[in-house]
Amino acid sequence: MAILDYDMVIVGAGFAGLRMLIEARELGYKARVIEGGDGIGGTWYWNRYPGARCDVFSADYSYSFSTELEQEWRWSERYPTQPEILRYVEFVADKFSLRQDITLGTTVHGAHFDDDRNNWVVETSDGRSLRCTYFVMATGCLSTAKLPDIAGRDSFAGEVYHTAYWPQETVDFAGKRVGVIGTGSSGTQLIPVVAQQAKHLTVFQRTPNFSVPARNAVITAEEDAEIKATYADRRAKARNSPSGLGIVPNKQSALEANPTERNRHYEHQWETAGFGFVLAYYDLLLNKESNDTAADFIRAKINATVQDPATAVKLAPTGYPFGAKRPCVDSGYFETFNRDNVTLVDIRDEHLETITPSAVATNAATYELDVLIFATGFDAMTGSLLKPNIRGRNGRSLRDKWAAGPITYLGLATEGFPNFFFITGPGSPSLLSNVLLSIEQHITWLAGVLRAGEAENASTVEVTAEAEADWTDHVNVTAAKTLYSQAASYYMGDEIVGKPRVFMPYSGGVRAFGRKCDEIADGGYVGFTFE
């Protein structure tokens, strides 16, 4: 008999890892969380760049498992800042005494399934090997930051930052020439804040993004009381909605509304909906002609906001449907380009050639800088799952198995890797949903799988090749009905040169996904083997 260190080892102390730890305790397991950072919070520990906040309503981007927690915590804004979310995570960790089961500052290099003993050996950066029954990667979908492959990248001698590895100390931009490469959600949040402080800001944009206004606001005492009185309803609505945001999509097609009505509706959504703008009509992501109406509306807004016509043209997204690449939710992004101290460089016109010790150079000009910020995103969805060398039955590596793209059952498990699970992995609604809701759904459902395994005295829980092939096929068929493949995006693996081009998240929505999971559970966890 092998001696087990833990029943479960969980990688990552972000929202998913902490929630998994709470569930593991409920299951009666001895569990350990291994976290690479020197603090808990995952995404919200690392991404502390100026302007960082969530674009999901705070009350929805919160745990639902404890009514006491819901009643005790008071959110101050609709869209909470990174420091507020981190305070929430710390509050949860203290309230539920989680810290004693978390090891910080330690990464997992690799893990292998021991075929003889039916358990996992997890290798950590402090040289230890932890033996456990269940191995769970709760590493998040956007946690392996990506640096661009630009000649001379590492030669810059000034201050260099990546939004996803922002230092703890305040960065002072006053009197400095700052360059930002990247205009996704992180860049879009950071740019307006840096522009207010820097002597000059140069933004290097490759693909213009669709962005809708956040319309953030303080949550008043009355609103807080209302939120607290209606949490149960709110959660039910969220679970019953496609995105997990509780927004009921408009049942009308954009093409059914006449242009005046449609414009009025878009105006209303623009003022109130934030990310929900994408649900203004049910078919915006299904029909290109419908999508064009929303895309045209947003382009007109950009044009009306940005004073310099040439800059407005550069900022207007074209060539891909609205929503097919993750839209941004901003606070004063387009207005920032009306400032005298901000320059937009469109690197589709001016090819970005090299980074030197003091500048970023294109084929047209050299931009001298004191500070260079990479807002260049992540190796999404599979990056963190494939970083450690994970080997399943007979030493087969996950990297080999997923060489042509991830194959999973429900985004939770993969055949040949018994007792191994990942939270909001490829094949689950993950990045297309309110990820907090998806995390909790995945974890509570996984608990049901594990209980079923225990009821059968099984030493391994594994998915079948047939179940994962069918599910992966369903994920592809569902995505093929949408416009998602018409954009180069991290949903499709386009963010990394050479990454297989497959659509990774499940686009059928959290409601359909939840129902499918319930159906599988009711059928006795069809697609799993318990041995």
Binding site for ligand N01 (CB under 6 A): 54-55, 142, 148-149, 163, 181-187, 189, 206-207, 326, 329, 347, 375-378, 431, 490, 495
Q: How far is the CB of 325 from ligand N01 (least distance, A)?
A: 7
Nearer to ligand N01, 259 or 319 (CB): 319
> Residue 437, CB half-sphere, CA atoms under 13 Å: how many?
29
Q: Whose CB is nearest to ligand N01?
A: 184
DSSP state of 4: P
Among 2, 151, 122, 127, CA closest to 390: 122
Q: Beta-carbon neighbour count of residue 117 at 10 Å?
A: 15
Nearer to ligand N01, 186 or 311 (CB): 186
Q: Taking the CA atoms of 497, 501, 507 and 510 in sequence, report the sign of the dihedral they define.
A: negative
Q: Beta-carbon neighbour count of residue 292 at 10 Å?
A: 16
Q: What is the distance of C-alpha 382 from the center of its chain?
A: 12
Nearer to ligand N01, 183 or 472 (CB): 183
Distance in angstroms (rounded) separating the CA atoms of residues 90 and 18: 10
Q: How far is the CB of 318 from ligand N01 (least distance, A)?
A: 13
The amino acid that residue 475 corresponds to is V
Q: How far is the CB of 273 from ligand N01 (least distance, A)?
A: 15
Distance in angstroms (rounded) separating the CA atoms of residues 38 and 108: 14
Distance in angstroms (rounded) separating the CA atoms of residues 240 and 57: 17
Nearer to ligand N01, 211 or 419 (CB): 211
For residue 204, list its beta bridge partners. Answer: 181, 345
Distance in angstroms (rounded) separating the CA atoms of residues 386 and 404: 13
Could you give phi then psi for residue 164, rounded to 5 degrees?
A: -85, -5
Q: How far is the CB of 152 from ligand N01 (least distance, A)?
A: 13
Nearer to ligand N01, 184 or 388 (CB): 184
Nearer to ligand N01, 383 or 388 (CB): 383
Nearer to ligand N01, 81 or 293 (CB): 81
Q: How many residues does the chain have?
A: 531
Q: How far is the CB of 206 from ligand N01 (least distance, A)?
A: 3
Q: Which two tokens stand for residue 305?
A: 């906001």
Is 399 in contact with 112 (CB distance < 8 Å)? no
Q: How far is the CB of 108 from ligand N01 (least distance, A)?
A: 23
The amino acid that residue 488 corresponds to is A
Nearer to ligand N01, 133 or 430 (CB): 430
Could you give phi then psi for residue 443, rounded to 5 degrees?
A: -70, -40
Q: How far is the CB of 348 from ligand N01 (least distance, A)?
A: 9
Nearer to ligand N01, 119 or 189 (CB): 189
Place of tokens 């191995």: 135
Nearer to ligand N01, 210 or 421 (CB): 210
Nearer to ligand N01, 183 or 408 (CB): 183
Q: How far is the CB of 79 from ligand N01 (least distance, A)?
A: 8
Q: How far is the CB of 375 from ligand N01 (least distance, A)?
A: 5
Element holding 70 (H helix, E strand): helix 67-72
Distance in angstroms (rounded) separating the CA atoms of residues 407 and 404: 9
Q: How far is the CB of 443 from ligand N01 (least distance, A)?
A: 20
DSSP line for 186-246: HHHHHHHHHHHHBSEEEEEESS---EEE----BPPHHHHHHHHHTHHHHHHHHHTSSSSS-
Q: How far is the CB of 326 from ligand N01 (least distance, A)?
A: 4
